[in-house]
Chains A and B, each alone.
Chain A
């Protein structure tokens, strides 16, 4: 409908008649402009002249027609030539250093000869390929020389619509991905804002960021590497937190579908997915909607279906298969294991065959040639903690060592037993039950920072670091804060955004911040050891049900953590069918008893949380690692002030332990965390202790 500014102006003035409101044509235009910007109205014509506009008449009416490679020919040609021109001017410089006449001849030939003869003369053979790369030969070598042939193929594939890389354990998956990111940015003209990498864990995102910085320097800071969750929170404009994350993926997909997300946040040309075997239906739906919204979006998915151990949360490698089958992704297999000795690789190969519906068709081969040790100890008995620790103590170990178990409890027992024998050991704990920002040491650091603006000033950062060191330097949990801080600094060397730090804390888990050091023996569940590697791995499978594919994949993950030594202690029969010459088999027919000491780490449900409201003042000076006195109701500090009451449920457990001969003998502070009483809306410090029960001591 056509109208004029004057008409609107007069109408407005007439309406407001009584008050004699005056306005100007400019104000009306302003309002119109506003209405069209917020899309309340669609207006054309008139005042729009102020803004420089292009008049476009569309000739190609068919909506399906895309801008094609042939159309891009001229520009492409130009850019390819520009690349060669840079190489050529460099070649001139190099020539001029030692061959004056030759260099002048070179210039002359460049302008006079047919271009192909010029290239033939000066860039024969492989040099012809060299000058087509938009990177110097030296840089190319630096970036890609260290890659294997199979790895390089993935880097070199610039044309497949999608790539799926099935990467075996120890095959350099992270390395390939990091180099692929570098290649995308440096050699495939993907702009950093058009590149998105999604991971399943914050630690993976951090690791990639660190490696990419190491590889290509500053440019890495501009690349978006995010977890699925944080990317979704970003799109929805929310500060993410775990409580709110249940339906975040579905919400985001819905909003993208409805066009409620700003196009510039989802316009991408390449999407890289790490650990793609861990995708569940929601995550795959996000990938799909991104593909739908970005015509020609290249998806590069890397994963190992054999290592999918998150089936319980819906992770399924069939989404990877779907990418290959219905999206015509090119499939690559990385089957060279750079990590493990040949024996271990052969063993893993034999074992993995029992898993059904696998993606990889080729066997893994080992790059290492040095012989390793593989020992299988079969038990009739239960209670393998005692013998596995004995075995470990009797073995000459150099390098890193890890004991892997199925459950957290087993891991805690083993840690206790190792410590009892005077061996430095560390239990890889998690923060199940509380978010990392509720951990006293982390909270203290965050409170010390509490920035007033969106970014953290360098001096405030340093001040907070000093403060947390002074206060908690002696806490066994200080390592967590320290590594958290280090990680953050490393990936954010310049500006430190508070929101980034919050995100890192929110999305991280305690186990992300244990670093291998010296001869400390790590004790961990299989799940928490995923992605890590150790020289020596002792795997305990006590009463383990290994029938399902999921269980088999867990065992496969455990087996493939080992570099030179793998010792499996089990009372299951999963490996019976494997007949390999290099495996040392021992049948242990002894009967083993439960351990004499049991360590138990208490969680929120084991303690009477409401009680803490009354003893907050007593917790002020308390530190993780401190010993506590045992009292009938609960635990007290060294002066006998009651700090903690056990929950009813845990009281029952203590009784049950006593009935089977175990008595509570030791207690110390494990975690001090903040807990919010939802009813009162009040937050309290809460002590989560570690207890030791001992057999037959009253």
Chain B
């Protein structure tokens, strides 16, 4: 009977009889979803949790191509049908006569794990997109693509949309909250079959919950050479990927491991070994290799030794003149890309720049103009080219040589995609360019001393509690790093990833601890009425948002009662993620809701006050800073001025600020900068010279300062008064700190 009803929807050869015996409930759920015949209906998360076998059963019915080839399998699991259906192509690409793409797609459809080494523009995307889309259709499953390049994710999604495929979404830091909320919704409701995220996103609770709520078809890992210290771009945060997958499998209680596809454009043998070993050791997965040969017969290479940039420039002009075709010129620094393209334009060439630090719109504009053929020459850093498929580039000139053969081969390989044209790859070589790469490497390198400094900082921060939350900047300061170090946050997270990899710590998922779960009003209606009548809300939009938040809280309260789930939906970051309201705004609204007594006041703050500590100490600190701040205000105005910290310090002392120190001056300036009272930049580390500009009149700032001071004193008085009262039952003494932890 089952086969009759589902003849076109499941594999004829599936062992339904066994499932009827062994997993009747799971089979029922699986068939129910299949019966919906609705592309976007997915198995509800709670079913997945309570009956993990459903996924396996569904897989047997729908995604295991049978050897004989029944009607279902022919129609739905055939990779050529898939290619035709989604992309309109008739055949897969071959490399040197070998049907590698086809083989890799077939392996994916058969749920194997694989490592594909395809040259850039070698149809890598199609290789995972076809199986992902097919799987989305047959299994309602989600394929997760992990890529380190956030801006490329959006490009990929947009490209698919242009091809009429709307099942791909990305969630990353570059999205605004509304886009983010939309993406999350689409993953949740099953309309997304492909999700692009960065390795960093694996740290987000929201993402974890999202992935727990969907069947995961596969993890696709782009730039897989990042796993290997032998590759050209090792990333310590990649090492967390398998841990994440493993954790996910455990939480989902999966019988079969989630398969993995790894992609990279170039990899030497050592890197391939590393990647395979990694997945074997961590996930027990065996990766099949699909490697295209790197040889390209229509590319011709030439290297010219050049003395300096002038010499290079002259050669560059001649080469472009001679060949006169779509051309990419690679340089190593962003500034040079701009300068060189300007110079070329001034000399009558049709050139545009492209580099990672450009405005996104300008980037897209230049890139599109180049692809369309409106611009002949692209002067670019290595940021250009990924995801760009332009067949008629006939000339790639490296004005500066790349920093590795891997990167060089990839970049040069952007010429002559069309195998019918003969393309030239030139390098204007000067040994000094290697020195520049060495210098850059030295600057970006995270050395062992720095990791030790971070470890010491963490030891310090965790001396009372083993589990802490700190911003990367706070950790950097504790480690004694200077704020002016470039990319300081990335450096901190990398150091922490290294410490995690060595087993010294575990980096948990980012966990802001605000809850808004104690609702005082009985019904949502009552709450909404209160909001509408309230005068506390700033404007109508805030009221609308407040109502949305209240509704959300009520609905998650119901869900929480329905199943034994954590009341996690009421966490600020979820609310923000789901409703597409920025976190700060959510917090503000929650505060207002508390004032309106719609939500209970949550004592979500903890003050640590030393038992022996006098109120006077705290007040003295406040007083000292108050003096310093008042003095500083007299020094600033709304013009940009250079200050020497040392001179400021002496002047402050002369003006009667006892207890002033350069450190305290900096604390104040940092705080002001965070509060946007001033603009501040460090000009010269060794000299302690800073540039400061007030962003408001000193009268206004003074007023703000007075108000804050009054408030701060009041806070201290209050807290110290409160600390004197006897301990509550929940209070528990830890070392010599009073610490009443109470997170509900």
From residue 578 to 612 of chain B, which have CB atoms closer than 8 A to chain A?
583-584, 587-588, 591-592, 594-595, 601-609
* A43 with B605, Cβ < 8 A, contacts A103-B301, A497-B684 known: yes
**In the complex the two chains form, is B438's CB within 8 Å of A23's CB?**
no
In the complex, whether B707 has a CB less than 8 A from a CB of chain A is: yes
Q: Which residue of B lies closest to A497 (CB)?
A: B687
18 extra interchain contacts, Cβ-Cβ under 8 A, other than A56-B469, A136-B431?
A: A2-B604, A3-B607, A6-B601, A25-B592, A31-B711, A34-B712, A40-B618, A54-B475, A58-B459, A58-B462, A76-B448, A87-B434, A89-B404, A96-B303, A103-B301, A111-B266, A191-B447, A224-B686
Instruction: Enumerate chain B residues within 8 angstroms of A126, measured Cβ to Cβ.
Output: none
B642 adjacent to A86 (CB under 8 Å): no
Q: Is B314 an interface residue (CB 8 A)?
A: no
List of A residues within 8 angstroms of B435 by Cβ: 135-136, 139
With the chains together, A37 CA to B471 CA distance in Å? Answer: 13
Contact of A622 with B by CB under 8 A: no
Contacts of B506 in A (CB 8 A): 56-57, 59
Question: Do B716 and A40 touch (CB < 8 A)?
Answer: yes
Determine whether the beta carbon of A111 is less than 8 Å from that of B294: yes
Q: Given the complex of chains A and B, what is the CA–CA distance between A627 and B658 in angstroms?
A: 52
CB–CB A499/B646 < 8 A: yes
Contacts of A547 in B (CB 8 A): none
| B294 touches which of A35, A39, A53, A107 (Cβ 8 Å) | A107
Using an 8 Å CB-CB cutoff, how does the interface string of B453-469 with A read, 1 for contact, 0 for none? 10110110110001111
Q: Count of chain B residues with Cβ under 8 Å from any Cβ of A?
A: 158
With a cutoff of 8 Å between Cβ atoms, the chain A residues found around residue B619 in the complex are 40
B230 touches A28 (CB 8 A): no
Q: A263 an interface residue at 8 Å Cβ cutoff?
A: yes
In the bound complex, do residue A46 and residue B689 qualify as a contact, i.e. CB atoms below 8 Å apart? no
Considering the complex, give the chain B residue whose CB is closest to the CB of A15.
Answer: B714
Q: Does B427 contact A (CB under 8 A)?
A: yes
Closest 7 CB pairs of A and B: A267-B480, A237-B662, A263-B480, A49-B512, A237-B649, A85-B404, A71-B502
Q: Verify A455–B642 contact, CB threshold 8 A.
A: yes
- Chain B hits for A15, CB < 8 A: 714
Stretch in contact with the other chain, from A112-120, A169-177, A458-466, A671-679: A112-120
Q: A88-B404, A136-B431 are in contact. Are A57 and B232 (CB under 8 A)?
A: no
Task: For A238, list chain B residues within 8 Å (CB).
Answer: 646, 649-650
Query: When chains A and B are docked, how far (Å) is the Cα of A455 from the Cα of B458?
Result: 38
Q: Is A266 in the interface zone, CB < 8 Å from B? A: yes
Smallest CB separation, B647 vs chain A (Å): 6
Check B621–A38 contact: CB distance below 8 A.
Answer: yes
Whether A264 pairs with B482 at a CB distance below 8 angstroms is yes
A-B contact pairs, 13 of them (CB 8 A): A6-B591, A25-B595, A27-B711, A30-B708, A43-B608, A52-B510, A54-B507, A56-B508, A86-B403, A238-B646, A260-B661, A263-B479, A499-B647
B548 at the interface (CB under 8 A from A): no
The answer, yes or no, to whether B145 is at the interface (CB within 8 Å) is no
Interface residue? B406 (CB, 8 A): yes
One of A27, A52, A262, A266 near B472 (C-beta < 8 A):
A52
* Listed stretches A62-70, A334-342, A442-450; interface member: A62-70
Query: Per-position contact with B for A211-244: 1 when CB-CB < 8 Å, else 0?
Result: 0000000010010100000000110111100000
Task: Specify which chain A residues have a CB less than 8 angstroms from the CB of B479 in the assembled complex.
Answer: 263, 267
Decide yes or no whether B485 CB sits under 8 A from chain A: yes
A12–B583 Cα distance when bound, in Å, is 26
Distance between B363 CB and nearest chain A CB, rounded to angstroms: 25
Q: Does A55 make an interface contact (CB < 8 A)?
A: yes
Out of B270, B449, B478, B650, name the residue touching A237 (CB < 8 Å): B650
Cα distance A110–B504 when bound, in Å?
36
Q: Is the CB of B482 within 8 A of A193?
A: yes
* In contact, B646 and A237 (Cβ under 8 angstroms): yes
> In the complex, A189 Cα to B587 Cα: how many Å?
44
Take A1-B723, A28-B715, A93-B429 as given contacts and tell me if A83 and B480 are in contact as well, using a CB distance cutoff of 8 Å: no
Q: Flag A452-484 by CB within 8 Å of B: 1 or 0 each.
A: 011100000000000000000000000000000
Does B718 lie within 8 Å of A8, measured CB to CB?
yes
Residues of chain A lying within 8 A (CB to CB) of residue B668: 38
Closest to B456 in A: A295
- In the docked arrangement, what's the CA distance between A110 and B266, Å? 11
Pick the most buried of B503, B513, B592, B646: most chain A CB atoms within 10 A of its CB: B646
**B229 pairs with A453, CB closer than 8 A:** no
In the complex, are the beta carbons of B268 and A115 less than 8 A apart? yes
Q: Is B401 among interface residues, defined by CB-CB distance under 8 A?
A: yes
Task: Give Cα A264 to B605, complex, Å.
Answer: 30
B236 touches A75 (CB 8 A): yes
State A108–B687 Cα separation when bound (angstroms).
51
With both beta carbons as reference points, the residue of chain A lying nearest to B468 in the complex is identified as: A56
- Kindly list chain A residues whose C-beta atoms are within 8 Å of the C-beta of B427: 93, 96
- Separation in Å of the B490 CB from the closest CB of chain A? 12
- Is B467's CB under 8 angstroms from A56's CB? yes
**In the complex, B28 has a CB within 8 A of chain A:** no
Q: Select from chain B the residue with minimum beta-carbon distance to A240.
A: B646
Say whether A82 faces chain B, with CB atoms less than 8 Å apart. yes
B678 → chain A, closest Cβ, in Å? 15
Please give, as numbers and ranges, the residues of chain B lying within 8 Å of A613 by CB-CB distance.
none
Which residues of A have CB within 8 Å of B499?
Answer: 67, 71
Question: Which residue on A lies nearest to B452, using beta carbons?
Answer: A67
Contact with B along A175-211 (1 / 0, CB 8 A): 0000000000110011101100000000000000000
B294–A108 contact, CB under 8 A? yes
Alpha-carbon separation in the docked complex, A26 to B493 (Å): 30
Whether A77 touches B644, Cβ cut-off 8 Å, given contacts A1-B607, A53-B471, is no
Q: Does A587 contact B (CB under 8 A)?
A: no
Question: What A residues does B718 contact at CB under 8 A?
Answer: 3, 7-8, 11-12
Q: Find out whether the CB atom of A31 lies under 8 angstroms from the CB atom of B405.
A: no
Judge whether B675 and A45 touch: CB under 8 Å. no
- List residues of chain B with CB within 8 A of the CB of A76: 448
Q: Which residues 388-424 in B have Cβ within 8 Å of A in the complex? A: 401-409
A350 to nearest B CB, angstroms? 45
Given contacts A85-B406, A237-B662, contact A41 B303 (CB under 8 A): no
Give Cα A60–Cα B503 distance, bound, in whole angstroms.
Answer: 7
Instruction: State which of B401, B501, B662 has its C-beta within 8 Å of the C-beta of A93.
Output: B401
Instruction: State in angstroms the CA–CA spacing of A610 and B45 once bound together.
Output: 95
8 Å CB contact of A107 from B409, B467, B468, B646: B409
What is the CA–CA distance of A97 and B662 in the complex, to the nearest angstrom?
Answer: 56
Q: Indicate the member of B304, B442, B467, B603 with the most A CB atoms within 10 Å.
A: B442
- The distance from the CB of B228 to the nearest CB of chain A, in whole angstroms, is 8
B667 part of interface (Cβ distance < 8 Å): yes
Query: What residue of chain A has the Cβ atom nearest to residue B725's Cβ?
Result: A1
User: Does B472 lie within 8 Å of A42, measured CB to CB?
Assistant: no
Does chain A have a CB within 8 A of B47?
A: no
User: Do A72 and B448 have beta carbons less than 8 Å apart?
Assistant: yes
Q: Chain A residues near B459: list those with CB within 8 A.
A: 58, 63
A32 interface residue (CB < 8 Å to B)? yes
Is A586 positioned at the interface, with any CB of B under 8 Å from its CB?
no
A-side contacts of B587, CB under 8 Å = 47, 49-50
Q: Which residues of B contact A25 (CB under 8 A)?
A: 588, 591-592, 595
Instruction: Mark A488-508 against chain B: 1 for CB-CB distance below 8 A, else 0.
Output: 000000010111100000000
Q: Which of B451, B481, B504 contacts A59 (CB 8 A)?
A: B504
Contact among B511, B601, B687 for A500, CB-based, below 8 A: B687
Contact residue among A79, A233, A264, A499 (Cβ-Cβ distance under 8 Å from B441):
A79
Complexed CA–CA distance, A111 and B271 (Å): 10
> Is B269's CB under 8 angstroms from A499's CB?
no
User: Contact between B642 and A135 (Cβ–Cβ < 8 Å)?
Assistant: no
